[in-house]
Amino acid sequence: MASLREIKERIASVGSTLKITTAMKMVSAAKLHKAQNAIGNLGPYQAGLAGMLLALTAGMRKPEGEAPVREVPLMQPRAQVRRAALVCFASNSSLCGAFNANAIRLAAQTVAEYREAGVELTVFSVGRKMADAMRRLGYPSPADYSHMSGKPSYEDAAALGRELTEGFLSGRFDRVEFVWNHHQSAASQPARRTVYLPLSSSVVPDSAEESFVRDYIIEPDRDTLIDALLPRVLDLKLYTTLLDACCAEHAARTVAMQMASDNAESLLQSLTLEYNKSRQQKITAEILDLVGGAMQ
């Protein structure tokens, strides 16, 4: 049985850990609330802009005599995928449950699929945990994007989006995919995989796709609007995915720290009970010694 001093030291240690996990839970909850507000404010704008683009490129009623919609290179799938880019999102730190493990597992499966198909793959790792995992698989990131995971920025997302778009247009990439954890709820952050380029109707949320009015008056002309909307839609898609992954990270860390705090409180109760029992036994033994000495 552990001595009273050892139990007391362990109680102090667990108490200090409990203060840390409680503070981390509160910080993560505040960051989660901020990220949820950002996605809530950005979502309708992104859906509306993407819906306008898709309406312009397919299915809209054209005035008599207007030229048919031209082909948009960023929306044309390649006949054969020889080179691909994979953008994988994870966090810079741990203590967030299985958040990083799930994203890394799906990214590794995707890498294995491309490798078996003989596709030349470039992996852009957003987050130190993902960068370390992909480096071990032999796919170091072309640049350090860890700052994007820590502090999501539209400017950084737009810069990466331009690099991916230019790579697709130049033929350096035949396909671009994302792998990230989706914030489904506070307790669920499933890993997902989606195609970024070529652009398709997946850029529009399912719940919003049917709400767009198809009858537009176009000014100045269709091609000009398509050229103006395309880069903005792609940048917003990347930025929204980054915010979604960030939101999922904070949700996972909030839940993990809550569980750690609950376990610490339970352990404190057990240690306190053990300490009181040991102390009572020690006092009883001392009393018996005193009584035995007096009787002699």
Over the stretch 202-225, which tens digit does the pLDDT of each residue have? 555 544 444 444 556 777 878 888
Indicate the average pLDDT of the chain: 85
Range with the poorest average pLDDT among 35-49, 132-146, 238-252: 35-49
Residue 290's pLDDT is what? 73
Range with the poorest average pLDDT among 84-93, 149-158, 253-262, 281-290: 281-290
Structural contact between residues 53 and 247, judged by C-beta atoms closer than 8 angstroms: no
Retrieve residue 136's tokens.
């071990």
Evaluate whether residue 26 is within a structural domain: no
- The answer on pLDDT for 67 being more than 60 is no
- The answer on pLDDT for 134 being more than 90 is yes
The burial of 253, by beta-carbon neighbours within 10 Å (0-12 exposed, 13-18 middle, 19 or more buried), is given as: buried
Beta bridge partner(s), residue 181? 191
The set of residues, in sequence order, having a beta carbon less than 8 Å from that of 45 and lying 6+ positions away, is: 236
| Backbone angles phi and psi of 30, in degrees to 5 | -65, -45
What is the domain-level CATH number for residue 123?
A: 3.40.1380.10
Domain that holds residue 42: 32-254
Higher pLDDT, 188 or 71: 188
Retrieve residue 261's tokens.
């705090």
Average pLDDT over residues 76-93: 92
Higher pLDDT, 257 or 73: 257
Residue 192's pLDDT is what? 94
Evaluate whether residue 143 is within a structural domain: yes
Higher pLDDT, 69 or 174: 174
> How far apart are the C-alpha atoms of 106 and 88, rounded to whole Å?
9
Residue 202's pLDDT is what? 57
**Nearest-CA neighbor of 106 among 183, 179, 188?**
179
- The answer on pLDDT for 109 being more than 70 is yes
pLDDT band at 132 (very low <50, low <70, confident <90, very high): very high
Q: Give the H or E element holding residue 170.
A: helix 154-170
Residue 213's pLDDT is what? 45
- The answer on pLDDT for 129 being more than 60 is yes
- The answer on pLDDT for 244 being more than 80 is yes
- The answer on pLDDT for 178 being more than 50 is yes
Evaluate whether residue 17 is within a structural domain: no
Residue 234's pLDDT is what? 92
Evaluate whether residue 276 is within a structural domain: no
Average pLDDT over residues 25-54: 87
Q: Give the H or E element holding residue 159.
A: helix 154-170
- The answer on pLDDT for 142 being more than 60 is yes
Evaluate whether residue 220 is within a structural domain: yes
Q: Where are the alpha helices (DSSP H) in the chain?
A: 4-57, 99-116, 128-136, 146-150, 154-170, 222-295
Evaluate whether residue 265 is within a structural domain: no
Higher pLDDT, 293 or 122: 122
The count of domains in the chain is 1
